[in-house]
Structure 1
């Protein structure tokens, strides 16, 4: 970042800045020694922090505090849920196949603990929504002895498009299968109810809502029904996830969860996003905003202009002290064509130009104006020349 210039951070779907209140909760928890499994006063204090956090996180998703399992993050929560063996009233319940949507996070697409040959993809339409009729067809053609785990995310991290979770939930329950939801992007940005969705498990993440990195949760649905633990060797989390809990991280997570339920904050962010998109279309009429005509998260915009490379645009945004992201970035840092947009039927050339702008709790109108100024300069410099 250029000296004496402020960074405009608009990449909240990757990781939100830590809320000040979460930082204070972290610091307070770090000051106190104590393992939550110990029976002395320090241990009991740590346990109290964790149990209080369970209530705050269950409030975030309309769940049961007893069903909150703390993990190292949402990837671990997803892999835990994507297990071929669940326990139903303490007895093994075997799942033979895994069905995941084509737009899932890599931690879900990888299939968790299912074998590759037992993992299948549910297609999406041109708006990026799961085709429920196709899922129904796939499930109905299975043999009577087949029991399936279906995993569909709540909202896509790249486009913000919301998925028809209740329809999927009713279908999966009626056919006697199991339903997992990756709610990482939706929790804290829009109302989430595990009961209304009707899923058996749901994953959330701390750092997406302004809490610390390195902590997440898997939240179970009704009844004594859960995946076999991914991490074993200890009785923490009621024998559902071994390892000493990250008490400080959990404390910060809980504070962020409580603050992210603020409806006024959500409305303010959504208003800024809508303003940004209106200005973007005026400045760049040729810009394609993906998923614009369907329900999306109020903080997310994913757009592209034919002929403009996202990789080059991101470099120029960075030089202007504006942090946004591409539709897809692999661990090497190189920009590729988004698997989400390709699944929607978007051409590879347009998909390679996708830029995602995601807003959050600290975003201001000044941030939006800085982004628009930077984009105007980038577009003028990079726009394809007209021939003839």
Structure 2
């Protein structure tokens, strides 16, 4: 059976063979607990964890002691927001309507605990402005959380300017950089907290990290053992941590070249689909976005039927975390798309193993299937 061409890299990435090779010994020969400091097995594991911590710190421009390993970006987001909420006397938070559910659901939880959250509305390109953040800040604002790059549209927010405003006002700034790390140059300069996940940059699932600037008040959420300098208890996932470190190292080595290659392939895909399929539009900014993402809306198409017919490519119409929902994408709705257009939108996300041949075949297939779906739609 021929497998479809994978164009859903924003949902997850395959583990790079070099990452897997680095991980394998830590499942078998070198299986020690990194907290066991009385024998060789534990010493080896602890050293491997610290090497990975340096690799992750390096891609962020952070120090090793500021990296806290977690089970992934969702846990990192929970630790960041809930940890600040519990540690601060201030209970007002600011975020954006287009954030991932791993932020929005935490904010909803904090509201139940008595917190207040301001949800900033983006423009039709999916962007917010520094002025919006500045205007929303209050004396009781504890934290501003803005996603670096959106998982559905690839839109990149003006993180530097947002962080600067928060720094000037004495407000903590957090960014969910899950989609940005390994794809863009990411620096934690001016940022207090930053979340990332290994499986978005060719590492394993179930491992991530939270950058915590030294001195940032943060209540722990995982009790028992005081691991990770007391920030996050639990036996360390040494193979996963090693994999995350190696994935970060590899991504940093080819960051610029890979971004240029993927942007060229993305532009080829996008240009051809816009030219060959009338009534097609790009969702989100075409200037400030990730190099490998194109979110396209196809007019007069039943979105569900289109995805069913796109059997030769693996794509999605939103976040993998909300793909079971029949509701239109909350990201696209916040950008003022109609329900019909939001349902008829498809996210194409390219990656390390995408080829020119893949893109050519995808173009041909999408053109044919949109035409077929439109005919069926009009007949209905």
TM-score (norm: length of structure 1): 0.91
- Partner SS state of residue 308, structure 1: coil
Q: Distance in 1 between matches of 2:259 and 2:370?
A: 30
Structure 1 segment 258-277 matched on structure 2, within 5 A: 258-261=249-252, 262=254, 263-277=256-270
* Correspondence list, 1:8-19, <5 A: 8-19=5-16
Name the structure 2 match of 1:338.
329
Aligned residues, how many?
A: 371
Other-structure match for 1:106: 101
Confirm whether residue 28 of structure 1 aligns to residue 25 of structure 2.
yes
Q: Which runs of 5+ in 1 are unaligned?
A: none
Q: 1:256 to 1:217 in 2, by over 3 A?
A: same
Q: Distance in 2 between matches of 1:164 and 1:283?
A: 33
Map 1:144-155 → 2, pairs under 5 A: 144=139, 146-155=140-149
Which of 177, 187, 191 aligns to 1:199? It is: 191
How much has 1:327 moved relative to structure 2? 2.6
CA distance in 1, matches of 2:307, 2:19: 30
* Aligned ranges 1:82-97 → 2 under 5 Å: 82-83=81-82, 85=84, 92-97=87-92
Q: Does 1:128 align with 2:121?
A: no
| Pair 1:55 & 2:46 matched | no
Q: Secondary structure at the match of 1:312?
A: helix
Cα shift at 1:6 = 3.5
Distance 1:328 1:351 in 2: 13
For residues 46-79 of structure 1, give each alpha carbon's deviation from its aligned partner in whole angstroms, at most 9, with x where no partner exists. 1111100111111111111110000000000000
What secondary structure is seen at the aligned counterpart in 1 of 2:174? Answer: strand
Counterpart in the other structure of 1:382: 373
Contact 2:48 2:242 in 1 (8 A): yes
Cα distance change, pair 125–38 in 1 and its aligned pair in 2 (3 A): same
Matches within 5 A, 1:197-276: 198-221=190-213, 223-261=214-252, 262=254, 263-276=256-269
Displaced runs of 4 or more, over 3 A: 84-87, 328-332, 384-387
Distance (Å, rounded) in 2 between the aligned partners of 1:328 and 1:337: 11
Could you tell me how far apart the structure 1 residues matched to 2:271 and 2:224 are? 54
Aligned-residue offset at 1:224: 1.6
Please state if 1:305 is matched with 2:298. Answer: yes
Deviations 1:102-130 (CA, angstroms, capped at 9, x unpaired)? 11010100135623452221111111012
SS of aligned partner of 2:296 = strand
Question: Which residue in the other structure is 2:344 paired with?
Answer: 353
Q: Find the aligned partners of 1:258 and 1:73 in 2 and give their Cα distance.
A: 18
TM-score scaled to structure 2, two decimals? Answer: 0.93
Secondary structure of 1:110 counterpart: helix
Indicate if the aligned counterparts of 1:97 and 1:119 stay in contact, CA closer than 8 A: yes
Shift of 1:386: 7.8
The Cα RMSD (Å) is 1.9
CA contact (8 A) 2:126 2:285 kept: no
| 3-state SS of 1:199 partner | coil
User: Are residues 335 and 371 of structure 1, via their aligned partners in 2, closer, same or farther at CA, if it must alter by over 3 Å?
Assistant: farther
Q: Is the 8 A contact 1:215 1:253 kept in 2?
A: yes
TM-superposed CA distance for 1:180, in Å, is 0.5
> 1:115 aligned to 2:111?
yes
After the TM superposition, which residues 178-189 of structure 1 pair with which residues of structure 2 at under 5 Å, given as runs? Answer: 178-189=172-183
| Alpha-carbon offset, residue 257 of structure 1 | 0.9
Instruction: Quote the offset at 1:354 in angstroms.
Output: 1.1
Structure 2, unaligned runs of 5 or more: none
Hey, which of these two has a bigger chunk of helix by percent? 2
Deviates further, 23-32 or 244-253: 23-32
Judge conservation of contact 2:306–2:369 (CA < 8 Å) in 1: yes
1:329-368 deviations in Å (ceiling 9; x for gaps)? 6657244311111111111211111100001111111211
